[in-house]
Amino acid sequence: MIKPEDVVLYKKSGEPGFATTQKNRTSILIRRLIGEAIEVRATDVHIEPESKRVRIRARVDGFLRDMAEYDHESGSRILSAIKVLCDLDITRKNRMQDGSFSGVVRGRPVEFRVSSVEEVFGDKMVIRILETEPEIIDLKRLGLDVKTETDLRLFLTRPQGMLLVSGPTGSGKSTTLYSLLREVDRKQRNVIAIEDPIEYHLEYMTQIPVSPKHGVTFATALRNALRQDPNILMIGEIRDSETAAIAIQSGLTGHLVFSTVHARDSVATIYRLLDLGVEPFLVANVLNMTLAQRLVRMLCRSCKVPHDPDEVKIRPLGRYVKGRIYSPKGCERCEGTGYRGRTGVFEIVRVTEKMRDMIVEKASEDVMRKVAREEGMQPIHIAAMEKVNDGLTSLDELERVLG
């Protein structure tokens, strides 16, 4: 829960929005509202005077929901204070005004764009919230199925082991890793992340930026981190033999290791470690899970339209239509795109005993893929098709992302 004291606001000029000693009710109300809005991932906050009250609503995932309501006196104090924050003219009536202010919420910078328009019962104000650093998504919202989410939570409680995520740039790998780290009991475990660059911030976590210019590579940073008795290590990427070797050794000696590699799917991810020169028996022993992921756009819920696909065309691809599927249309809410928000699609390998034996025996990637399927791995295009069948995304989008 974000408290008013976690929210610091500044005018555009950089001056404090409220004097630090100012503990008045309006300042606290505004900071509480902003904290709550960010907590629920609102993209904007609407302050709307009505005949008997001032209603405050927040837009979350494209939809407005009630947040609070105040009497006219408190409501107009809030409106005036925000106008002052934006250096807007508080006396001017009957016109549209816009401005901005900035803030730091729980240590993360946020920008606010404000527009105010005079309406029947006073000024209606909309505050757009622009997070300048991406948000860490709750594990529940990554787009995982229930079974995988449960398995991942179980993995997080293990004393040692390794989980690898693969996917192209911009496929949400670091979001996934951070969503996992968010769930870890960081207060009681020493968590060290080595990243290039640092994208997110979490409390109770040490973050070391990689800086080859200053001689800090993934491998050197990892060695330094290991001197600090970590329980959990997050390595931004394993892309060289040295890092691979240290990471694997760590995962076998009492550390839980998370990382990403460049590989085209969840099975190829296993082989990436072998390519980097790691002994097969070490890979077999250390790896618990591999995830390959992509992001697909979600259909706009306001305008998606039912769609009857040409099943003859999609069946050979293993894509079965169950129930109603939808196509994008485009409306005001989705700015005509037909899509709003994105979700992850995953291909997950749980490394089983049988697969461990096969890694040691250096089985070929194709044979491994076949066995992985037998052992329960759902190929990513099937996982994506489930999302089409759930009406979350479209066949076009699946084609676009997975080909």
Least distance in angstroms from the C-beta of 297 to Zn ion: 11
Does residue number 331 form part of the binding site for Zn ion (CB under 5 A)? yes
Least distance in angstroms from the C-beta of 67 to Zn ion: 24
Contacting residue, 273, 303, 349, 388, with Zn ion by CB under 5 A: 303
Least distance in angstroms from the C-beta of 60 to Zn ion: 16
Burial of 91 (0-12, 13-18, 19+ CB in 10 A): exposed
Does residue number 2 form part of the binding site for Zn ion (CB under 5 A)? no
Least distance in angstroms from the C-beta of 105 to Zn ion: 29
Q: Which is nearer to Zn ion, 50 or 61 (CB)?
A: 61
Task: Please list the residues that pair with 298 across neighbouring strands.
Answer: none
Least distance in angstroms from the C-beta of 299 to Zn ion: 8
Q: Which is nearer to Zn ion, 180 or 300 (CB)?
A: 300
Q: Identify which range of 19-27, 110-118, 235-243, 299-307 contacts Zn ion by CB under 5 A.
A: 299-307
Q: Which is nearer to Zn ion, 55 or 333 (CB)?
A: 333
**How far, in Å, are 33, 40, 101, 107, 362 from residue 6 at the CA level?**
12, 15, 16, 8, 53
Burial of 142 (0-12, 13-18, 19+ CB in 10 A): buried
How many residues at the interface with Zn ion, by CB under 5 A? 6
Q: Which is nearer to Zn ion, 62 or 309 (CB)?
A: 62
Does residue number 300 form part of the binding site for Zn ion (CB under 5 A)? yes
Strands 232-235, 256-261: pairing kind: parallel
Does residue number 302 form part of the binding site for Zn ion (CB under 5 A)? yes
Cα-only R_g, the chain: 25
Q: Which is nearer to Zn ion, 68 or 303 (CB)?
A: 303
Does residue number 299 form part of the binding site for Zn ion (CB under 5 A)? no
Does residue number 334 form part of the binding site for Zn ion (CB under 5 A)? yes
Q: Which is nearer to Zn ion, 347 or 397 (CB)?
A: 397
Does residue number 301 form part of the binding site for Zn ion (CB under 5 A)? no
Q: Which residues bind Zn ion (CB under 5 A)?
A: 300, 302-303, 331, 333-334
